Amino acid sequence: MTSYASVVDRIYKRHASEKYSNISYLHHPSGVTVVVLREIPESEVISVEYGATKKHGVDRSNVAVVGKGKKGGVVLQTDTKLCTIKCADGSEITVRSGVKGTLVEMNDRLKTQPDLIRTAPENQGYIAVVTYGAGIRETDGFGEVLPQKRLKLQKL
């Protein structure tokens, strides 16, 4: 059966996170990283909360960035919390950035369709988009390169 490299593998490089095992990074060579969930929970995801849980926490999904320089983006430290994922079985997953950079975008579709994070983790269920200063294409905090995925055409 014919198989193809996935869209992600065609365009991005997949890295583990040095610090956190529950996420991986899809890194575009121009210097933009998509943070995705690596350890997929078995139970359905019922909500994703963007940091507003803390008393003075910033709701990361409402932060707008302006211009080419992505002004206004939340500055991330490696341990900055991105979101908290709540599953139907009561378990909670905390997602931290693992890299230093600027948060460009949180996936706001997860507010209405949180389970996408489980069913399409490397597609519509991505978590966040991170970038770095002008001209910076690589960053610390990436772990080993993860294997590529081949997609096989499926029969009916």
Residue 94 contacts by C-beta under 8 Å, 6 or more apart in sequence?
A: 81, 84, 85
Please select the residue that binds other proteins; options are 13, 19, 86, 109, rule is CB under 8 A.
109
Give the contact letters, 9-38, x = binds to other proteins (CB under 8 A), - = no: -xx----------------xxxxx-x----
> Would you count residue 107 as binding other proteins (CB under 8 A)?
yes
> Would you count residue 40 as binding other proteins (CB under 8 A)?
no
Identify which of residues 41 and 73 has a Cβ nearer to other proteins in the complex: 73
The whole-angstrom separation of Cα 35 and Cα 127 is 6
Identify which of residues 7 and 40 has a Cβ nearer to other proteins in the complex: 7
Q: In the chain, what are the helix, strand and coil shares in percent, each to the nearest 5?
A: 10, 35, 55
Cα 144 to Cα 15, 109, 147: the distances in Å are 6, 29, 10
Cα 121 to Cα 110, 124, 134: the distances in Å are 11, 7, 28
Please select the residue that binds other proteins; options are 82, 99, 104, 117, rule is CB under 8 A.
104
Q: How far is the CB of 109 from other proteins (least distance, A)?
A: 6
* Tokens, residue 120: 């399409």
The whole-angstrom separation of Cα 12 and Cα 78 is 21
Stretch that binds other proteins, among 2-10, 51-59, 81-89, 139-147 (CB under 8 A): 2-10
Name residue 20's amino acid.
Answer: Y
> Would you count residue 124 as binding other proteins (CB under 8 A)?
yes
| Interface ranges with other proteins (CB under 8 A) | 2, 4, 6-7, 10-11, 28-32, 34, 65-68, 70, 104-105, 107, 109, 116, 119-120, 123-124, 126, 129, 131, 135, 137, 151-156
